Chain A
């Protein structure tokens, strides 16, 4: 088996055992990226020279016995909304197309400390607004399983890079499903942690009360190990939570005996693709066979999650994106007359249509006279959704559902009808509103060969329960990350 097919933990072990060097691994990933990038376009920036240099430094630390962690020396990619000092960090937007931060995001610092060799920055929907990675200023990313299809979004670049073996793992961010849905579409494992688990310091905000950074991995074990390095209490982020229970790899046990799994009726009813539905029921059956208790139940209020999410996320985004004004950093329009004209031209030219749509929506719901009717009502809905989940978790340990209504659509299909695209987030956004942890795990492929993802949702701080259920399932099935179509030929 070639080096690219190893999981991150397997690779790290070989590096520790001096069978492979971090430099060889980095070079292999770069070679793979150069081969597949023309077709897939996972990266906005692939930092070849820097990566090899960092790999050399890390290899030395490994040889000196300074770096001994389970992920030391493993090449990784970072979504382009996470700041890295001195490195282009664009959010896949024209307005930040020349932006180099003066500090590094805490989540990135954490994986750097664990010995990650960062290869570059991955493509995304502009400012994480979109479900297909087609709204990127730098052009779309394509699905490694079938380049006619989208990889999902907004962390499409991170998921495609892992699926196409252009890195061993990646960081994504999830505001309304942006890790889970593209992980499902690309056949990789993605996890959105409980709100507050991973520092948001240095994550360029979309919807501050919903954003979480999380891992995109080849399998469940890698996912748990990466999450372990990512999670930390950070005094620089006031919403960061101090957690004691972050030894997530302890949960890698194939055992679901007595685990109570609930499937919301709304999640397997109307609007769900039949093949996805069947795959999900197969998962349920397998877990039941392994000793879990599986039931259907009513998770009310789900239909209100999408409007509440789009009101809250857009409202926060409209404010978060105000700082991009051409004054301090980033793109500034070439010629303008006076301050207001500079603002107007810079932002008109700097933002793409989806970002503008959400800024307008967000500004509207916050304007005086509409605040109560939209924003405040959405906040109340959010609280009710949280209560509905609280009730569900009195009865169940894990909620099982799809990550998306279908497998990956074709390029160009989604943006024609934004409202329909928003509705595609039906199974993921409620989790962000409630601040819960959830993960997406590959669950087979449809008749066209496109990956299907299942979603596991846990109660706050119960990532370990999710990891145990996912690991149990994974042990019973064939891992899916192995050599997707686009990656073939380099091995």
Chain B
């Protein structure tokens, strides 16, 4: 949108919450498993019982350090927790343990590409904090219940500088963060399930201006598409206000993706005073040089390194390497299966084509994959040995994908082996030629296509188990030889 010839620039900064993949909560030993009957993953600590005390989960610090290092942040050597005080029933202590004054990491950046142009998005800081419980409103008796299973799930909040200028840049920043964090194994980063959540801070200004406009903060963005729509919606709303000579109000807004509209939640004037102060129940986190070295050493290979290595080591094309390394889970399957069968390009084909197709068809994410690399490798071996043909292989792969079926056993039990026995084929072919004189005549008369029909008939008679090349060859020979 662009009225009266004025050009506007959108300025965007993100606050990204990422749920860390620890087995236990940040300040107690309760499980972080998703689901579970309400208030079953709870204890005195995460329900705010009087006299309970928090104890920091070391794994949370290590994941946060790993993310900090992978996003080029400085790790704070003496980091502390603070209490953020506010009353709400999902927050059992009525304060959240977070970090304000000395966050675990600061001053980082990630490199993104937008429209083919590389760009750095700076990270202002990253801090650790605990998640709140969940309120469930019972419309029937007009009561609200609270489930503390989520209370105390570890989060990091990554706060970027206002360095992004478009929805495209925002999406590539988020995709980059997601890939890095997934590669680290620090989170599964599922936007839909809320293990990655982004709040968008957005303002507009006239192109060329060096002053920032008044920003708003947008919440409730559950998908990349919603984020893109919300950015466009908010940009247009702000420009319309400015064009009408009205001020943009600094406020928090909630995006309703169904209505494609945002609603004001609270303005700066209603902003609460959180009365932050250092959490006296926890001691400072002192991070030594050795500890940082240890985390760095444990740091897995990140995507760009892996991509280059795949091209080099497995001799697969850039295109394949990009698709396969997009998800660490797929990359891991690729490497294991390639090692087992020694045919990386074949493995890559199964992953790029059939696996991605089935994932899409079933609306699944790579982390939902259940099959083992071993079974994929066996499938490649079976196909390459000519034990099964490619159409049987596709059918078998669907089985593998669905139930992690052992392809060798499946092929055996269902009699799917390609019949390479010339004798068996010969009698079938003789019968097909006898039964289809018209097609035989057509082929002889120069209709090349007619052979396809005959091959199809033969394959059908063989219940698909024949080697189609062999059938075609034998048919051609038999037809030519047959007396007309």
Contacts and interface: CB of A to CB of B under 8 A. Distances in A.
Interface string A123-144: 0000000000000000000000
Contact of B50 (A101, A209, A363): A101
B95 A319 contact: yes
B51 to A, nearest CB: 4
A366 interface: yes
Interface string B80-123: 00010101010011110000000000000000000000000000
Given A319-B277, A367-B273, A83 B51 contact: yes
Given A322-B85, A323-B94, A316 B280 contact: yes
A339 interface: yes
B146 A327 contact: yes
A323 B56 contact: no
B281 A239 contact: yes
B277 A371 contact: yes
B56 A238 contact: yes
Contacts of A203: 51
Q: Is the interface of B mostly helix, strand, loop or mixed?
A: loop
Contact of B87 (A102, A316, A343, A375): A343
A102 B44 contact: yes
B95 A322 contact: yes
B48 interface: yes
Nearest to A199: B53
Contacts of A202: 51-52
A361 to B, nearest CB: 12
B50 A89 contact: yes
Contacts of B47: 328
Contact of A238 (B44, B55, B146, B276): B55
B358 interface: no
B54 interface: yes
Contact of B44 (A103, A205, A327, A368): A103
Contact of A101 (B49, B83, B282): B49
B48 A238 contact: no
Contacts of A366: 85, 275-277
Interface string B258-290: 000000000000000101110011110000000
A236 B49 contact: no
Interface in B109-163: 144, 146
A237 interface: yes
Interface in B44-80: 44, 47-56
Nearest to A105: B51
A83 to B, nearest CB: 4
A375 B277 CA distance: 9
A201 B52 contact: yes
Nearest to A321: B94
Interface residues of A, number: 43
Interface in A345-397: 363, 366-368, 371, 375
A319 B83 contact: yes
Contacts of A323: 48, 50, 92-94
A339 B95 contact: no
A169 to B, nearest CB: 21
B89 A327 contact: yes
A424 to B, nearest CB: 25
A368 B51 contact: no
Contacts of B48: 323, 328
Contacts of B85: 318-319, 322, 366
Nearest to B282: A238
Contacts of A82: 51
Contacts of B273: 367-368
Interface string A203-218: 1110111000000000
Contacts of A205: 50-51, 281
A238 B283 contact: yes
A393 to B, nearest CB: 23
A343 B87 CA distance: 9
A343 B273 CA distance: 18
Interface in A297-339: 315-316, 318-319, 322-325, 327-329, 339
B92 A328 contact: yes
Contacts of A209: 280
B53 A200 contact: yes
B275 A239 contact: no
Given A238-B282, A238-B283, A329 B49 contact: yes
19 contacts: A101-B50, A102-B44, A102-B49, A103-B44, A105-B51, A202-B51, A205-B51, A237-B53, A238-B53, A238-B282, A238-B283, A315-B277, A319-B95, A322-B85, A323-B94, A329-B50, A363-B275, A371-B276, A375-B277
Report, nearest first, the 9 A-B pairs whose CB atoms are least far apart: A322-B94, A366-B275, A208-B280, A209-B280, A202-B51, A204-B50, A83-B51, A323-B48, A323-B93
Interface of B: 44, 47-56, 83, 85, 87, 89, 92-95, 144, 146, 273, 275-277, 280-283
Interface of A: 82-83, 89, 91, 96, 99, 101-103, 105, 200-205, 207-209, 235-239, 315-316, 318-319, 322-325, 327-329, 339, 343, 363, 366-368, 371, 375
Given A201-B51, A205-B50, A239-B280, 20 more contacts: A83-B50, A103-B52, A201-B53, A202-B51, A202-B52, A204-B50, A208-B280, A235-B55, A236-B53, A236-B55, A238-B55, A238-B282, A323-B92, A323-B93, A324-B50, A325-B89, A329-B49, A367-B273, A368-B275, A371-B277
